[in-house]
Amino acid sequence: MLEVDIAEGSLRGCMEQDVMCWYGIPYAEPLHGLGRIRAPQPRCPWVGMRDARQFGCSVPQEVPAFLGVENMGDDCLNLNVWSPSVQGKRPVMVWIHGGGYLNGSSSQTMYRGHPWARKEDVVIVSINYRIGLVGFADWHAWPELQGVTNCGLRDMVLALTWVQKNIHAFGGDPGSVTLFGQSAGAMAISALLAVPAARGLFHRAILQSGSADHVLMPEVARQVTAKLAAQTGSLYELFSAGSWQEILQAQRTLLRVSLPRSDYTIANMQFGMPALPCLDDDFLPALPLQSELDIPLLVGTARDEWALYLFMPELMGGQSARDVVFDERAWQQVVSRGVPEIAHEMVKSYQQIMPASTPAARIVAFETDRIFRISSLALAEKHAPNSYVYRLDWSCTGNRRLGACHVIDLPLVWGQVDSPLGKFFTGGDEDAIALSSYMMHCWSSFAREGVPSQDWPAYGQQRWTPRLDRDRQFQPDPQGERRQLWSPYMGFAEKL
């Protein structure tokens, strides 16, 4: 049994796979009543030895079957730690899970820190944070609730404060903390770059398949809360006395709401994500692309992110696309829905750049660019010369239509290519194992030194980007024509 003392009390962990593990460590008080939409409160000290050998509760949510989230409840603001030893000072890597700000948990089986601690000699921390409308609604127009905006981001800040205070007890260095996250987790990290309260709590960041623009303006965020209020009758009754099931049922009706995200010269719409960080003078005063925080960044996307949503939406909790026809009309509708003000220009430009492509291939390329890739590159440009960029080209072996799709990075980064889900996405062969080892080593090297590897050039003026596949090829500005299409609207610095 492994016992450590932290500021809040004593913890008993366990040894698994030659790695020291502590699970379900609470960093905040449980969420009861209106506390579900108020600022998180630091966990009070406890008396005696707390058992930290099992995962804690997950944040209540409606879960797509493949995510495997269980044991949901009020005491959900907890974290987990994996360490090779409590002696010494190692780089700390804090994982922020994805899930569209609606799903996910630090206890998902994909996110096991044993390979990281054992092979890369780092301390891994994974955290829970509030998701859905309890995590990301705007309550300014309902003062009787005493709610706060961006509860999910505030949870992350409190968890990072816990890391600064306690990680030395687990062999971690509080002066070397790297955030890494995927999808909504990476989007959250980009938002944290603009949160003053997060300054000094982390020193580097790795953003996988995220976006730097999934932030709502205040008036738009309040539209979401107003829609919720209109359908529930009394927000006070819902959040003070309602069950989690009732809150989730009320939230469900908002999942198809369409709102303009961020602040562009064009209307750039988001769909199916009503819960997003929103601008707030007190907590999130600026957009991520306006952040003045200058830290090293490692930023990347998969080549065909949107293919997962287009061809297998049921994996992400959506309806099957088996009977959907992806023809020229569908392609034009996608573009018109996404960027209505410049739809004609974008339809024409993508067809010119991809003349031999199918409508489905153009949909994947356009939505991958619009939702993930373009704003990620804009963030990398803002942080040049301290930014590194990659593109993951490994194609899914279980369904060739998916290509290098969203979430394909997870089994590679977490050393899980031999798991059932990992084998579906990567095949689990020797090349997959080698790429997984390479990515894990580059990620830990970045956490340790701020550089992925000695032969990996900074993004810089040439926009160097390695294509990660069965071999590694470094290219300047891959798919540059598509990037340039968006330059007038996304604040690109054409001359770095």
pLDDT tens string, the chain, 496 residues long: the values are: 699 999 999 999 999 999 999 999 999 999 999 999 999 999 999 999 999 999 999 999 987 756 678 899 999 999 999 999 999 999 999 999 999 999 999 999 999 999 999 999 999 999 999 999 999 999 999 999 999 999 999 999 999 999 999 999 999 999 999 999 999 999 999 999 999 999 999 999 999 999 999 999 999 999 999 999 998 889 999 999 999 999 999 998 887 788 889 888 788 888 778 899 999 988 999 999 999 888 999 999 999 999 999 998 776 555 665 567 899 999 999 999 999 999 999 999 999 999 999 999 999 999 999 999 999 999 999 998 899 999 999 999 999 999 999 999 999 999 999 999 999 999 999 999 999 999 999 999 999 999 999 999 999 999 999 999 999 999 999 999 999 999 888 754 443 3
Domain boundaries, the chain: 2-271, 296-490
Residue 149 confidence (pLDDT): 96
- Rounded to 5 degrees, what angle do the CA atoms 219, 223, 229 make? 135
Q: What are phi and psi of 444, to 5 degrees?
A: -70, -35
Residue 494 confidence (pLDDT): 43
Angle of helix 328-338 versus helix 359-367 axis, rounded to 10: 20
Element (H, E) at 239: helix 235-241
What is the C-alpha separation between 395 and 385, in angstroms, rounded? 30
Of 177, 216, 209, the residue nearest 98 (C-alpha): 209
What is the C-alpha separation between 392 and 404, in angstroms, rounded? 7
Of 229, 221, 204, the residue nearest 283 (C-alpha): 221
Domains 2-271 and 296-490 share a fold: yes
Residue 387 confidence (pLDDT): 97
The neighbouring-strand residues paired with 10 are 5, 49
What is the C-alpha separation between 11 and 30, in angstroms, rounded? 18
Residue 323 confidence (pLDDT): 60
- Rounded to 5 degrees, what angle do the CA atoms 141, 258, 134 make? 45
- Rounded to 5 degrees, what angle do the CA atoms 385, 386, 388 make? 100
Residue 110: count of CB within 10 angstroms of its CB = 17
- At the topology level, CATH places domain 296-490 in Rossmann fold (3.40.50)
Residue 336 confidence (pLDDT): 95
Domain 2-271 in CATH 3.40.50.1820? The answer is: yes
Cα torsion angle, 318, 187, 96, 132, sign: negative
Tokens of 242: 């309602």
| Contact between 306 and 368 (Cβ < 8 Å) | yes
- Residue 308 class from Cβ within 10 Å (0-12 exposed, 13-18 middle, 19+ buried)? buried
CA 82 to chain centre: 20
Residue 43 confidence (pLDDT): 98
Residue 322 confidence (pLDDT): 59
What is the C-alpha separation between 385 and 69, in angstroms, rounded? 39
Say if pTM beats, i.e. exceeds, 0.75: yes
